[in-house]
Amino acid sequence: MNTPSSKTTPKRIQRAFWLVLALILGLIGWWLLAKPSQAPAASGQTSAATLPAGSEVAVFAGGCFWCTEADFDKVPGVLATTSGYTGGKTANPTYAEVSSHATGHAEAVQVVFDPKQVSYRQLLDYFWRTIDPTARDRQFCDIGTPYRTAVFATSPEQLQVAQASRAALEKSKPFPEPIVTQLLMAEDFYPAEAEHQNYHQINPVRYNFYRQGCGRDVRLAQLWGELVKAKP
């Protein structure tokens, strides 16, 4: 009785190897060349001119705005988030211009929140745990001034609260390095292009691939330990 050989020939092994390699390279090529979905901005976006009654606005720069927006969308009491650019010298900058480091802007997120549900101080305490405040002009795998961390206070009262929050953090932080995150008064905020809004929802696979590949959560766990899991 003839039975199939239990061993695979070297040629068949080589053929299978090259087939798998070609498939992997093809997938990588598709991933790199495919453009993000050109979906319109989500209806959850809220401009300062149409704020819900009693709501307030905060602006945070925490590196990649895809990640900062995704983090704040988890917070109860946050009504809307908008990715955009602030802190630069050019009006209506584009993503390409900001990424070229030519405009001086930082990627940032405008957060509309209900102060009856979550206070500005709570948002600040949460913000610290979503960034590496020891890194100057970079965050995780993103390097350059567009990825600097900053709090852009929208009122003198917010600035005072931010200063108190950072002072308290300097005393309690679980790491020895100094905090270099800037505390500034807010400047003009320019919403980013539609394809960058709610990116974690519109392109979840690519977003998770980027976030994990950038090592964001690994670094946050190293810095903050169990505090990174604390709720606002």
> Is 64 among the residues known to form the active site?
yes
What ranges in 129-203 are assigned the alpha helix state H? Answer: 156-172, 199-202
Q: How far apart are alpha carbons 120 and 103 in whole angstroms? A: 29
Annotated catalytic residue within 64, 67, 141, 214: 64
Catalytic residue numbers read 64
